[in-house]
């Protein structure tokens, strides 16, 4: 069984993340979208909220499972018998970081391969951080996140944005 893991903070999930889930799922018998329980990072959404948003978004997608993890990604991958890590690349800055990350993971777990998806040009500048900054000031985030999460983000910032 070919199992892939798409790890991330997903705080919140963006249109770019969702695009990668849709494109990657066909490559595997099971794609596990794994949300990091990051204790050090201050997150806008709780781990439960992030998992729920992703579950709602992927309802009806066969072979896609949403889970969370803490600690090392390679340990989570081994526990789940995954052979592949999926990551998205938006820019050269991503590339530098992702190379290091992939090499580190491969060094710790040589059986794990990382597969990169080049982000769609429309989403090439979209990140969870940029989405949060725009939403915080009441800007329009409709093109950058899936419809089902738009209001959840505005609500966090106490914004009642009518579109
Ligand atoms: O969405 P992000 O914040 O870019 O995702 C980063 C993530 C969660 C994939 C990465 O920080 C991670 O896997 N952290 C777990 C700790 C770990 O395994 N680090 C790798 C050391 S080589």
pLDDT tens digits, one per residue of 83-113: 999 999 999 999 999 999 999 999 999 999 9
What pTM does this model have? 0.96
| Per-residue pLDDT, 162 | 66
User: What is the Å distance from ligand 1's center to 76 Cα?
Assistant: 11
Average pLDDT over residues 107-129: 95
| Per-residue pLDDT, 135 | 97
| Per-residue pLDDT, 160 | 81
Atom of ligand 1 nearest to the CA of 103: 22
Residue minimizing CA distance to atom 17 of ligand 1: 72
* Active-site residue set: 17, 41, 90, 128
Q: In angstroms, how far is CA 23 from the centroid of its own chain? A: 13
The span from the CA of 87 to the CA of 9, in Å, is 12
Sign of CA dihedral 94, 24, 104, 70: positive
Class of domain 3-122 as given by CATH = alpha beta
| Per-residue pLDDT, 61 | 97
C-alpha angle 13-19-24 in degrees, rounded to nearest 5 = 110
Asked if residues 135 and 141 have their Cβ atoms less than 8 Å apart, the reply is yes
Q: Does the structure show a pLDDT above 70 at 40?
A: no
pLDDT band at 79 (very low <50, low <70, confident <90, very high): very high
Q: What is the DSSP letter of 122?
A: G
Task: Compute and round to an integer the Cα radius of gyration of the chain.
Answer: 16
| Per-residue pLDDT, 163 | 61
User: What is the Å distance from ligand 1's center to 44 Cα?
Assistant: 17
State the chain's mean pLDDT as an integer: 95
Q: Hey, which of 7, 38, 84 would you mutate to test ligand 1's pocket, going by the most ligand atoms within 8 Å of its Cβ?
A: 7
pLDDT band at 161 (very low <50, low <70, confident <90, very high): confident
Atom of ligand 1 nearest to the CA of 107: 22
Length of the chain: 163
C-alpha torsion angle, residues 15, 31, 45, 16 (rounded to 10):
-10
Query: How much of the chain exceeds pLDDT 90, in percent?
Result: 92
């Amino acid at each position: 069984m070919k199992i892939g893991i798409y790890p991330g903070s997903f705080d919140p999930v963006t249109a770019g993340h969702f695009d990668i889930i849709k494109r990657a799922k066909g490559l595997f018998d099971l794609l596990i979208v794994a949300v990091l329980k990051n204790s050090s990072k201050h997150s806008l959404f709780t781990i439960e909220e992030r998992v729920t948003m992703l579950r709602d978004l992927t309802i009806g997608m066969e072979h896609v499972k949403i889970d969370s993890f803490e600690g090392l990604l390679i340990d989570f991958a081994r526990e789940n018998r995954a052979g592949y890590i999926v990551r998205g690349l938006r820019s050269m800055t991503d590339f530098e970081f992702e190379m290091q990350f992939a090499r580190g993971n491969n060094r710790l777990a040589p059986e794990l391969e990382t597969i990169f998806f080049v982000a769609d040009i429309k989403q090439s500048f979209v990140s969870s951080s940029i989405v949060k900054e725009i939403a915080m000031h009441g800007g329009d985030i409709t093109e950058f996140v899936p419809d089902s999460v738009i209001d959840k983000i505005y609500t966090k910032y106490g914004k009642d944005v009518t579109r």
